[in-house]
A and B are shown apart, each in its own frame.
Chain A
């Protein structure tokens, strides 16, 4: 029983990070129609910036966190203004190619500035634990889960109640009609990029807490994309739930499937494969995801 709880908890921990990244995918895709393959790179940049302030400059952790988030949002806004503002309405393959190009630019720039090594963010949670009901949880995990759940609640409230949130949803549904209602569509796209990179940076810092700050952490972005696809690329709630599902499934796979031997067949590290397996299955049987809207084309 305790093992199960442990597995579920660690699944939620990783899942929260996936959910944050997936939320970024959905926010940007829904509002601007651009599937941003550079989402993982935004996480990575966020983690590196936080590392820069917390470890290299010795700033307090929270201050570094906030600064990294602020800079990350700025990067997102700049990406929109400099690149994707001009690409709205272009075919999806050209925008996807541009995000892939952007991804490699971001990776190279990060390598140039900080080098291709493993670093860690100096944080008050490092290696510390809290005992709860006879079990031991890492502080970093509790902090990650707490902050993400608050963020999810705030996002859902924002999209239901705030005028800006409602305007964003309207723009996502019909940009021309939103423009006719006096909504500045360009500004909405900018807000979407800002929010998308905001969650990416937060996820990146949490991810660094779980392992290291290194350029390979960008690959988590693609795993989170499978979470977004599972939930439905146009559903905010779906992204969150998809993220947690992928995290939990991965966690179970890591404990029960990894290293398993059936006959002469040896399962290696199944953990890293399972997210993609989920993505492939979802794309085959329900390409619009669990909560996504099925596109009905009338001819």
Chain B
């Protein structure tokens, strides 16, 4: 469904943030994009979303295709109208607006206004807490509730693909597990594909069907998540596990650094 081919993006005209990446998100699958800080994960989805101008990003080469249509030069609102929604990093709720108004904005791209009530029911079905907090300014919600709100806000638009940027950021482990469980349920029940950008590799690989590893603007490894989970490098560098599969103890950390086998 989403097909990125040899995408090269520069930041501020001089920094090559993406050095020709290719990835695919098939319909109704969860695909995860792993990588450390500054690897280019957020740049990838911002490039797809089309908010290039304010972030000073520019596509130098390559194509972004969605259902066969090239969407390289589309404006953010045009990308959304094709069914690609982004859940931005760091829970960007509209803090001064109430929860309900946030959801109204989520449904803004729908031409049929009557769908609002119906979609609202769907969202509240996943996140019952949002119904209780309907009239409160979104800025007063807790971190977990805000994360639920931004996911719900994206769902209001009846997306075909949701790109989630680090939904686990800054949340307690128990909340992370709950949110990821809901993401999995949404993926199955709403028939929506999810591109999951994460640093928390273990929880991302636990729900994803397929994964890509991004380093320094290049995709260095990809495969089904079961395969990635077994890979020695992924285990060492992303899951923090040793050969035996137990949690790594820092007492036994070797004094030399294991080299990555891929060239980045």
Q: Which residues in A have some Cβ–Cβ distance to B below 8 Å?
A: 89, 163, 166-167, 169-170, 173-185, 293
Contacts and interface: CB of A to CB of B under 8 A. Distances in A.
B95 interface: yes
8 contacts: A166-B101, A170-B97, A179-B76, A181-B154, A181-B157, A182-B85, A182-B109, A182-B157
B181 interface: no
A85 to B, nearest CB: 12
B122 interface: no
Given A176-B92, A182-B77, 11 more contacts: A167-B104, A169-B96, A169-B101, A174-B92, A177-B88, A179-B75, A179-B76, A181-B85, A181-B154, A183-B108, A185-B76
B167 interface: no
B97 to A, nearest CB: 6
Contact of B105 (A89, A176, A178, A184): A178
B113 interface: yes
Contact of A169 (B49, B92, B94, B154): B94
Interface string B108-121: 11000100000000
Nearest to B106: A181
9 tightest A-B CB contacts, nearest first: A182-B109, A182-B80, A179-B76, A177-B92, A184-B77, A170-B105, A180-B86, A170-B94, A166-B101
Contacts of B10: none
A184 B105 CA distance: 12
A17 to B, nearest CB: 28
Of B76, B85, B95, B153, chain A has the most CB atoms within 10 Å of the CB of B76
A166 B94 CA distance: 10
The A interface, classified by DSSP as helix, strand, loop or mixed, is: helix
Contacts of B92: 174, 176-177
A180 B96 contact: no
A137 B170 CA distance: 62
A294 B101 CA distance: 22
B203 interface: no
A177 B94 contact: yes
B108 A181 contact: yes
B101 A170 contact: yes
A184 B75 contact: yes
Nearest to A187: B77
Nearest to B77: A184
A97 to B, nearest CB: 22
Nearest to A177: B92
B88 A166 contact: no
Nearest to B81: A182
Given A167-B108, A182-B108, A184-B77, A176 B51 contact: yes
Contacts of B97: 166, 169-170, 173
Contacts of A182: 76-77, 80-81, 85, 108-109, 157
Nearest to A186: B75
Interface in B47-67: 49-51, 54-55
A176 B108 CA distance: 15
Contacts of A178: 94, 105
Of B51, B96, B105, B157, chain A has the most CB atoms within 10 Å of the CB of B105
Given A173-B94, A173-B96, A180 B157 contact: no
Given A170-B94, A176-B51, A177-B94, A183 B105 contact: yes
Contact of A181 (B54, B75, B95, B109): B109
A169 B94 CA distance: 9
A178 B113 CA distance: 18
A180 B89 CA distance: 12
A89 B54 contact: yes
A183 B102 CA distance: 12
A167 B105 contact: yes
B122 to A, nearest CB: 17
Contacts of A170: 94, 97, 101-102, 105
Nearest to A173: B94
A174 B101 CA distance: 14
Interface in B68-99: 75-77, 80-81, 85-86, 88, 92, 94-97
A99 to B, nearest CB: 21
B54 A176 contact: yes
Contacts of A184: 75, 77
A76 to B, nearest CB: 22
A179 B77 contact: yes
A155 to B, nearest CB: 16
Contacts of A166: 97, 101, 104-105
